[in-house]
Amino acid sequence: MSTTASTQDSGGARTEVQREQLSDVVVRFAGDSGDGMQLTGSQFSNTSALFGNDLSTLPDFPAEIRAPAGTLPGVSAFQVRIADYDIHTPGDAPDVLIAMNPAALKTNLGELRKDGILIVNTNDFNKRNLIKAKYEANPLEDDSLEGYRVIEVELQRLTRQSLEELEIDNRSRDRCKNLFALGMVYWVFSRSLDPTIAWLEKKFAKKPVIAEANIKALKAGYNYCDITGVFQTRYEIQPAKLEPGTYRSINGNSAFSLGMVAASRRSGLPLFLGSYPITPASTILHELARYKQFGVTTFQAEDEIAAVCAAIGASYGGSLALTTTSGPGLALKSEAINLALITELPLVICNVQRGGPSTGLPTKTEQADLLQALYGRNGESSLPVIAPATPADCFDAALEACRMAIEHMVPVIFLSDGYLANGSEPWRVPEVEDLPDLRRAFAERPAEDDDSFMPYRRDEKTLARPWAVPGTPGLEHRIGGLEKEDVTGSVSYDPENHERMVHLRAEKVARIADSLPPLEVTGSPEGGPLLVIGWGSTLGAITGAVNLAHAEGLPVSRVHLRHINPLPNDLGEILARFDKVLLPEMNSGQLASVLRGRYLKDIVTLSKVQGRPFSRGEILAAIRQHLES
Amino acid sequence: MSTTASTQDSGGARTEVQREQLSDVVVRFAGDSGDGMQLTGSQFSNTSALFGNDLSTLPDFPAEIRAPAGTLPGVSAFQVRIADYDIHTPGDAPDVLIAMNPAALKTNLGELRKDGILIVNTNDFNKRNLIKAKYEANPLEDDSLEGYRVIEVELQRLTRQSLEELEIDNRSRDRCKNLFALGMVYWVFSRSLDPTIAWLEKKFAKKPVIAEANIKALKAGYNYCDITGVFQTRYEIQPAKLEPGTYRSINGNSAFSLGMVAASRRSGLPLFLGSYPITPASTILHELARYKQFGVTTFQAEDEIAAVCAAIGASYGGSLALTTTSGPGLALKSEAINLALITELPLVICNVQRGGPSTGLPTKTEQADLLQALYGRNGESSLPVIAPATPADCFDAALEACRMAIEHMVPVIFLSDGYLANGSEPWRVPEVEDLPDLRRAFAERPAEDDDSFMPYRRDEKTLARPWAVPGTPGLEHRIGGLEKEDVTGSVSYDPENHERMVHLRAEKVARIADSLPPLEVTGSPEGGPLLVIGWGSTLGAITGAVNLAHAEGLPVSRVHLRHINPLPNDLGEILARFDKVLLPEMNSGQLASVLRGRYLKDIVTLSKVQGRPFSRGEILAAIRQHLES
Amino acid sequence: MSEQATLTRKDFQSDQDVRWCPGCGDYAILKAVQSVFPELGIPREKFVIVSGIGCSSRFPYYMDTYGFHTIHGRAPAVATGLKVSRPDLEVWVVTGDGDALSIGGNHLIHTLRRNVGVKILLFNNRIYGLTKGQYSPTSEIGKKTGSTPLGSVDAPFNPLALALGAGASFVARSVDIYQKHLVETLRQAAAHKGSAFVEIYQNCNIFNDAAFAYMTGKAERADANLYLEHGKPLTFGADGDRGIRLSGVGLEVVRVGENGVTEDDLLVWDAHAPNAALASLLAHATPPAFPTPVGLFRAAAQPSFESQVVGQIESTIEKQGSGSLESLLRAGETWTVD
Amino acid sequence: MSEQATLTRKDFQSDQDVRWCPGCGDYAILKAVQSVFPELGIPREKFVIVSGIGCSSRFPYYMDTYGFHTIHGRAPAVATGLKVSRPDLEVWVVTGDGDALSIGGNHLIHTLRRNVGVKILLFNNRIYGLTKGQYSPTSEIGKKTGSTPLGSVDAPFNPLALALGAGASFVARSVDIYQKHLVETLRQAAAHKGSAFVEIYQNCNIFNDAAFAYMTGKAERADANLYLEHGKPLTFGADGDRGIRLSGVGLEVVRVGENGVTEDDLLVWDAHAPNAALASLLAHATPPAFPTPVGLFRAAAQPSFESQVVGQIESTIEKQGSGSLESLLRAGETWTVD
Ligand SMILES: Cc1ncc(C[n+]2csc(CCOP(=O)(O)OP(=O)(O)O)c2C)c(N)n1
Ligand SMILES: Cc1ncc(C[n+]2csc(CCOP(=O)(O)OP(=O)(O)O)c2C)c(N)n1
Ligand code: SF4
Ligand code: SF4
Ligand SMILES: [Mg+2]
Ligand SMILES: [Mg+2]
């Protein structure tokens, strides 16, 4: 709520309720894993999206399926920022925090902004829960909450009360208390209940009592605010002025899945996914498994190696082949990725990064698999790496990954992360005919007397070899993981041939740079004292920070990389135009080391390795610091 | 024979045979895989070593077990350079080539130096073999061999003749023709037959006829030269002036194996090897399997992953744990290596690099797994990487790898290559008491009332955590792949703790740099126009080239890296002192990219990716070029 | 030094909060293990629990023994290295159906083939719990999950048949809530010298609730379970009058007293048979045609892998003496430069 | 377009020099495959040979069909992806005992469990050939090799028992030099709809010569082989008077005419039995107690994995029509900004 433009309007209000216009607001729902916080947050987001706000979300859930109720590791949270303008991040500090129990309060209070609104469910603040949350004293009873606008609500009692007449047990009643809370939030932000009511009716179509209970609780929460006047102010956030079009809210894994289906259609190739479940990538498998009417084959393999190998087999057979995983799984696939690389078969490897090393922080986000993606294979094995920048960008980046794979006959790594995978934002749905045309012909049966088919004869421009799929008469040939002779593809141990092939494979990837659009530099493209460069999911926080810096009049510019390998042709020149270059990344400086080596330019890392994304404030502070020193 | 000091001595010779003193000579034995070239070459090397020469060898064999006899892919070769001074490489171009068949001639002639001696087995130059070797005409009959000193010998016929009296079949007789050739070479280089005779007697102790046949053939070859005078000159290479001590000839895999046994003894920890066979690493498994009297346990696992996991289990239990592999196997192990990293268990991972990517060139050498070793794991996962420089150095480097692993509780990658693994050189055997003391105490049972054991409390200097092995009463604790809390080691999803642990793990490795000796700069340590920097097995070729350059008066200096991570503390300063830095490596510039990124110094790569080592000439040429331009 | 005399269940409870879902079958298994360990007369510090990744694999955190929560599927390999290098330790592996049979299938069968002396407890809930409910290699055909919205099409593994096919020397099955039976089965596993493979049916009440209700339900239990007891005829049913007999090379369910069948016709269970044929037959006896056999399928005395590996080392040292590093370094042909 | 009418063995010979050691058993297997393929009435371009790494895995280079020499142990996984996405192709996997049973064990058992319609030829030479002779998971106990100088200590896999334990629908065994038998076995494999697993004993004359001489030797052959023929009683021996009969749950070697045994007592071979029990028993019949069974152990009709995967896709499209990308992109709740 930092950049609010508030007006007062006590016109028709029954009590002294004021109306305030806000430009943006950050709300965080926090509770036990069993409290339905992800659902509650999603509903608030969707309703706001339908209303026309721009928004950005950040779910945050524990590694355990259901850690013991009431404990600190069991807390699940969902943050959403809604705004009447174009925003890029789910916000730094929440303006409003809903805490369903002591553990949720404990883990989330620290980030609530000073003077923020705090809604607490007092019924859960009993001795047992306080102990589980490792509170020595009841924070509601000492001065812990000073400086916040605390709204204490007996959520459990009130919800039960509102559902008294329904023939359900108390446990079922209690399960509705998140809807009661949501109703309250809807009231505060002057939102319609209709989208959520419609959604509940659909979701519980087969259990009408449950639908009714949830809807009743929702309305009760809303009415509770109306009647009791617990809030003195209602807020309004106007719709954002977005580009005209049809919008939907989408998270990164969904956008990626749709992008792959679109690529399948636009290339005319059936999509084949070989995958082994792993957080935070599994939902791509789940989503694509539902698209059988698009001819999508999903194969849940026995492990990551089988998953990528099956994808390689499918690619060999002429499918658009995909494998999805996260860090430890990418490590396992590395040997096989090199098989695709040397046999020059198209393949998309989607790696949704999470906190490492080893099992690490499986449900948290990080960008620390970059060097693994670039270099984690034996021998010289350069392959394209692309990193989407926002949840919705996963759609376009998927198409671009497929373009590179098909056009150049090469495995491509798509480097998403947990934040993109689960975070959502409004997405302007594109027209199908505007999507890139990805058709590429398979090698065709040669004329009867033509013996000249050469599986490693290359296209002059792309250096791609022909895609000669089994079943084509006359193209019978053998490929494999041993080094092959240039042009013929026969096994070759010849020293010079090996060197030539190493160069050809690298050059094929390097040439992709020629097909990339020029980079866009925001700020002063002609150069200046400071450039902030980012890649992948830091786009939002960096853009937000640079916008804030511009508002302060700071001379900072910004450029964002989507293609990590090959690097864009114009990058070197751009870097050279700036005195200082700052690179925020959610690792210890991985891309910085690559760029430094490539361009011999001193690039300063702003590192964050905490399993959560940058805030704008962190980056803004670094910008200020580097402009001063 | 380029730097010879020849004298004539026709004194007591029966015919006009001259005696010439040489300073060094390069001999290459080449034949079919079935011709026993590796054995022949080894014998010549050993005899020369026993005589006191310095030497360096380069075996080169095909990927097939026994490719069809007579074909080009079936050629097996062994090159050895012997000298009366301290040498570093197996030589660039052979001075003497023994070609047992047309295929061997075809694949090896190109490298024989002009005016070199060529011994050919004419019996094998029949039509069938010429076709198999893809010769259109018989090279013995056209002018292909002009410019070489060709010695045509009917090896097969002469060998059969010499073994006429023995009761063996012709096939067995033919198997001795390599010994006949060896006898000839011994005559040319004035070598004693005794070591080989002794070796044959031992090897065929159970088959005395075969021993006799081989010995007879050996002598026959020697006498053949004596009698027929096919050679006008005999050469002598005096013993080298090596440091006093006991010497033996050793290859890299053997030296590494002995180093590991020595480390086991010096640390008091039993050695455990978990491995899965793969060329060119398998011989380490074979060798260590024979050291049961040293308490060495070798476990041939079902795959590379099981191999490294078993080693991790053994390390957890208090063994000195080792796993050995080559490139594709390292890729497979990467997930598990991170488990050792995050649980902070000592482990040595020996990777004998071969030509990649994928199956690549399995029997050839390359240095292209460097970036994989440094970065091929998910998340932030810095670990020590050490690269031995010569076959014998594998012994010392093994001990150093173990030192780092044990002292810092960390997995260490030992980056050897095919050239070091199979190449051999004289090794001055160290005294056991001069070897480093690697003892480190396990954590001990705490006092009865002491509850303070903390599995992640670190040593202040090394940052190592305690090694608390199962079976110790009172130290029961749990470790695993999830992020852990600083000090306590409990599972922790706390953001700041994660960042702290990422830094601590990196810092632990970085601190190793403080224990490294200063780098030695040859040439002008104070700086100059050109520094050649190398790592791993290129030491020999670089040293040779720089020595040649110094002989030409060129102002070039040299430094060699053994520790790739962490890099030595003084490296940055050294680089800064030179105008240009040249880095020859058997890859496309992997270390160069790392050093450029780290030191922002323009480092120029001299790349060779041909599955074979640099020659001195190649490096010398690059030195000249860079000093000129 | 050793504390075994006084060990109790409490001694095996760690201070960590147990983080399985309320109602998860894993709790009961934890309880059973914590009951058996103190009975074994082994000092606490000698126990090591090695696990992979999955809900079940959180097990070591809750045991106050040495514990290693490794990576997905690899626990048998880590345990092998540990046991071979430290045969004095009691190494128990805890794993799930995905961990052991999907990604870890190969390590499992090789560990069983080698007969490494580790106890392997496979918590079979027929689902991937930790990754939120995908079908597993033990899910029944037609299973609808996130990754198989129209139902899975591939036949599941029969874990016991697979283990027997791999040459396992000890194979047993129990059920999370059969606490007494489970405890007894764990005791038998503890007593076995080589690899002991125990499949434990485990209810995942979140993603695959009531997967075993067909046999564990109150109404079904008596008729749906066949308790294997060595040396006893195979009978089952509420009235104990039903049984299993051989018919050709197969098995057949009969009722004693009907069609002239007497108790003598029933198969007498031999868990120690030298070959695995009968155990295989029983492993293939699956509902609805048969009651589900639980208990000890096979326990054959075979030398353990680690005893033989260590044996080779010990006998070499016995014969040749402990190696001299000095001589080793100087082995082969040497020469001296003065 | 299709050339099947006129295909001959020559059509399947590629122009590559065959690079196995002279005398290697692989040659005979190559010959057998090249004899069977032209008979099958399938166009040459429909054949794909997928292999792993090992001497045996060089196989595709020598066949003038499509071929994929993949990486060590992973051929079944690559083949699965190929077959599921292209059920019209004939996918044959060639693998070795190390490739299939050591590093690739898991992919093998999962492929068999799923019943993917690929033919798997396992060249079992009981040794690692390509890496120069280490012991393999099928080497006999006590095998002395480079990696086991004092002899191996672990029991080998019984590949057929393992395959059956994994649920394989087709299991057979033949021998490199039994050319006619091998050809017939390959024909049966070709005719099977799901996974066909064929173990082929193969002599590695360099690193494990004469490993199968006990049964292939001239003197031994008649008494040491038991040829399985569906519907025929199990007899063997030079005089054909010896046979196999059931004894309890096991098997027993008998002589017809002795102790009142008649031909009617012998087990009549049923390769199509619905359950794998009998096949398992036979798989466990090993020398010296039994002759080595060769031929078809099991061929059970079960739906193939790919047919069902494709079936779900086809029936969805049939019911819902081919998906509209436009609608998919606009699915869920949308709103419009003008
Ligand atoms: C290499 C790797 N791949 C995938 C995963 C994700 N993962 C964690 S547990 C699991 C399966 C769990 O199923 P199961 O073994 O049956 O255990 P349960 O949770 O049911 O007890 C998977 C796929 C991982 N952690 N590591
Ligand atoms: C990942 C990997 N690990 C190890 C190897 C080395 N390797 C190649 S073939 C082979 C075993 C070969 O044995 P088998 O499968 O029995 O085939 P054979 O040579 O006997 O036909 C091994 C270990 C490899 N190529 N790749
Ligand atoms: S998800 Fe299932 S298996 Fe996992 S803890 Fe919950 S109930 Fe247990
Ligand atoms: S090593 Fe053995 S298996 Fe390999 S080609 Fe030679 S004989 Fe055949
Ligand atoms: Mg499970
Ligand atoms: Mg083999």
Q: What are phi and psi of A151, to 5 degrees?
A: -115, 110
The pLDDT mean for chain B works out to 93
Which pLDDT does position C4 carry in this prediction? Answer: 45
Q: Residue A249 has which token pair? A: 């809210």
C98 lines ligand 1 (CB under 6 A): yes
| pLDDT tens-place string over residues A124-150 | 999 999 999 999 999 999 988 999 999
Retrieve residue A409's tokens.
């006959």
Distance from C-alpha of D257 to C-alpha of D240, rounded to nearest angstrom: 12
At a CB cut-off of 8 Å and minimum separation 6, what does B549 contact? B556, B620, B623, B624
What is the rounded average pLDDT of the residues A369-387? 98
- Would you say residue A278 has pLDDT above 60? yes
Q: Rounded to a whole number, what is the distance in Å from the CA of A432 to chain D's nearest CA?
A: 6
* Locus of tokens 């057949």: C252
The answer to whether B546 and B523 are in contact (CB under 8 A) is yes
Q: What is the mean pLDDT of residues A549-577?
A: 97
Q: Measured between alpha carbons, how far is D243 from D245 in angstroms, rounded to an integer?
A: 7
Cα separations in angstroms, C188 against A215, A433, C185: 55, 67, 5
| Residue type present at position C71 | I
For residue C71, the chain A residues in CB contact (below 8 A) are 328, 358-359
Report which ligand 3 atom has the smallest distance to the Cα of A65.
1
CA–centroid distance for D134 within its chain: 23
Do residues D244 and D281 touch, judged by C-beta distance below 8 A? no
Residues paired with residue A278 on neighbouring β-strands, in sequence order? none
Residue count (chain D): 338
| Domain-wise residue ranges, chain C | 9-211
Closest-approaching ligand to the CA atom of B34: 4
D79 to B67, D86, D95, D111, D163: CA distances (angstroms): 28, 10, 12, 9, 17
The rounded Å distance from CA C206 to ligand 3 centre is: 6
Which pLDDT tens digit goes with each residue over B442-494? Answer: 999 887 777 779 999 999 999 999 999 999 999 999 999 999 999 999 999 99
User: Minimal Cα distance from B300: which residue of C?
Assistant: C81
The per-residue pLDDT for B64 is 76
Q: Is D131 in the pocket of ligand 2 (CB under 6 A)?
A: yes
* pLDDT tops 50 at residue B400: yes
Q: Please report which helix (H) or strand (E) contains residue A547, including its range.
A: helix A539-551
Written as one letter, the residue type at C213 is A
Q: What is the pLDDT of residue B10?
A: 39
Q: Do A319 and D14 touch (CB under 8 A)?
A: no
Q: How far is D41 from chain A (nearest CA, A)?
A: 14
Q: Which residues in chain B (582-611) have CB-CB distances under 8 A to chain C?
A: none
Q: What percent of chain B has pLDDT over 90?
A: 86
Task: Give the mean pLDDT of C321-333.
Answer: 95
Does the structure show a pLDDT above 80 at A544? yes
User: Chain B contact for A587, CB < 8 A?
Assistant: yes
Task: Compute, in angstroms, the gap from residue B22 CA to the centroid of ligand 6.
Answer: 48
A349, A320 in Cβ contact below 8 A? Answer: no
- Please report which residue ranges of B118-251 form alpha helices under DSSP H: 127-132, 155-162, 170-174, 177-188, 194-203, 208-228
Q: Counting beta carbons within 10 angstroms of the beta carbon of residue C338, is it exposed (0 to 12), middle (13 to 18) or buried (19 or more)? A: exposed
Strands D66-69 and A478-480, how do they pair?
A: parallel
User: Before A436, cis peptide (omega within 30)?
Assistant: no
* pLDDT tens digit sequence for B280-333: 999 999 999 999 999 999 999 999 999 999 999 999 999 999 999 999 999 999
- Please say if the pLDDT value at position A467 is more than 60: yes
- Residue A98's pLDDT is 96
Q: What is the 3-state secondary structure (H, E, C) of C92-120?
A: EEEEEHHHHHHHCHHHHHHHHHHCCCCEE
Q: Is the pLDDT of residue A4 over 90?
A: no
Q: Using CA of residue B256, residue B259, residue B261, residue B264, what is the dihedral sign?
A: negative
Instruction: Answer yes or no: is pLDDT of C5 > 60.
Output: no
Kindly list the residues from chain A whose CB atom is less than 8 angstroms away from the CB atom of residue D305. none
Hey, is the C-beta of C115 within 8 angstroms of any chain D C-beta?
Answer: yes
- Say if residue A8's pLDDT is above 80: no
Q: Is the CB of D307 under 6 A from ligand 2?
A: no
Distances (CA, A) of A66 to A72, A127, B468, C206, D322: 12, 21, 32, 9, 39
- Mean pLDDT is lowest, of A59-73, C189-203, D38-52, for A59-73
Q: Which residue has the tokens 């695993």?
A: B480
pLDDT value of residue B192:
93
Lowest mean pLDDT among B164-173, C114-123, D82-91: B164-173
Please report all neighbours of C, defined by 3+ CB atom pairs within 8 A. Answer: A, B, D
Q: Does residue A16 carry a pLDDT above 80?
A: no
D158-191 per-position pLDDT tens digit = 999 999 999 999 999 999 999 999 999 999 999 9
Q: Which ligand is nearest to the CA of C147?
A: 1
Could you tell me the pLDDT band of residue B15, with boundaries at 50, 70 and 90? low
Calpha distance D316→A231 (Å, rounded): 52
Q: Does A410 touch chain B (CB under 8 A)?
A: no
Distance CA A379, CA B385 (A): 16
Q: Which ipTM score applies to this complex?
A: 0.95
Q: How high is the pLDDT of residue A15?
A: 53
A330–B331 C-beta distance less than 8 A: no
In sequence order, the β-bridge partners of residue A28 are: A79, A97
Residue carrying the six token digits 């720089």:
B546
User: With contacts defined as CB-CB under 8 Å, which chain A residues touch C57?
Assistant: none
Which residues of chain A are within 8 Å of residue C146 when distances are taken between CB atoms? 282-283, 285-286, 289
Residues 6+ apart with CB under 8 A from C178: C216, C294
Look at B229 and B476; give whichever has higher pLDDT: B476
Cβ atoms of B406 and B440 within 8 Å: the answer is: yes
CB–CB of B584/B538 below 8 Å?
yes
Asked if residue D248 has pLDDT above 50, the reply is yes
Q: How many CB pairs under 8 A join A and D?
A: 207
- Tell me whether strands B54-60 and B75-83 are parallel, antiparallel or unpaired: antiparallel
Chain-chain contact of A596 with B594 (C-beta, under 8 angstroms): no
User: Of the bound ligands, which one is closest to the alpha carbon of residue D103?
Assistant: 2
Among the listed residues C26, C18, C21, the one whose alpha carbon sits nearest the alpha carbon of residue C203 = C26
Q: Which ligand is nearest to the CA of D20?
A: 4
| Segment holding B596, helix H or strand E | helix B590-599
Mean pLDDT of A29-38: 92
Nearest-CA residue for ligand 3 atom 8 is C24
How far does residue C127's CA lie from ligand 5's centre (Å)? 4
What is the percent of chain B where pLDDT is above 70? 98
Domain range D9-211, CATH architecture:
3-Layer(aba) Sandwich (3.40)
Q: What is the mean pLDDT of the segment spanning C36-60? A: 97
The end-to-end CA distance of chain D, in Å, is 56
Residue at B280: amino acid letter:
P
Residue whose entry in the numeric block shows the structure tokens 């970085």:
B510
Residue of D nearest to A474 (CA): D45
Give mean pLDDT, residues B592-607: 98
What's the token pair of residue A269?
């190739």
- Contact check, Cβ <8 Å, B247/C328: no
What's the average model confidence in pLDDT over D238-253? Answer: 89
Give the CA-trace dihedral at B364, B366, B371, B373, to 10 degrees. 60
Return the number of other C-beta atoms located less than 10 Å from residue A453's C-beta. Answer: 19
Mean pLDDT of the B541-569 span: 97
**Does residue D115's CB lie within 6 angstroms of at least one atom of ligand 2?**
no
Q: Does B73 touch chain D (CB under 8 A)?
A: yes
Give yes or no for a contact between B611 and B364, defined as CB atoms under 8 angstroms apart.
yes
| Assigned token pair, D314 | 């086809």
Radius of gyration of chain D (CA): 23
In sign, the C-alpha dihedral spanning B481, B485, B491, B493 is negative
Report residue A19 as tokens. Answer: 């109306």
**Residues A616, A545 contacting (CB under 8 angstroms):** yes
Percent of chain A with pLDDT over 90: 87
Provide the mean pLDDT of chain A: 94
- Residue A127 and residue A130: Cα distance in Å, rounded? 5
Any chain D CB within 8 A of the CB of C312? Answer: yes
Nearest ligand 2 atom to alpha carbon B328: 1
B329-360 pLDDT, tens digit per residue, is: 999 999 999 999 999 999 999 999 999 999 99
Tell me the CA distances in angstroms from A5 to A1, A96, A97, A237, B626, one per residue in order: 9, 18, 21, 10, 65
* Mean pLDDT, rounded, for B110-136: 93
User: What is the band of D250 on the pLDDT scale with cuts at 50, 70, 90?
Assistant: confident
- How far lies A443's CA from each of A264, A465, A468, in Å? 19, 9, 5
Return the biggest CA–CA distance within chain D.
97
Tens digits of residue pLDDT in B148-160: 999 999 999 999 9
Q: What is the DSSP pairing of strand B320-325 with strand B347-353?
A: parallel
Closest CA in chain C for residue A298: C147
Contacts of residue B207, defined as CB under 8 A and 6 or more positions apart, other chains included, come to none
DSSP string across C7-46: --GGGGB-SSPP-SPTT-THHHHHHHHHHHGGGG---GGG
Interface test with B, best of A72, A134, A276, A358 (most B CBs within 10 A): A358
Residues pairing with C89 in the sheet: none
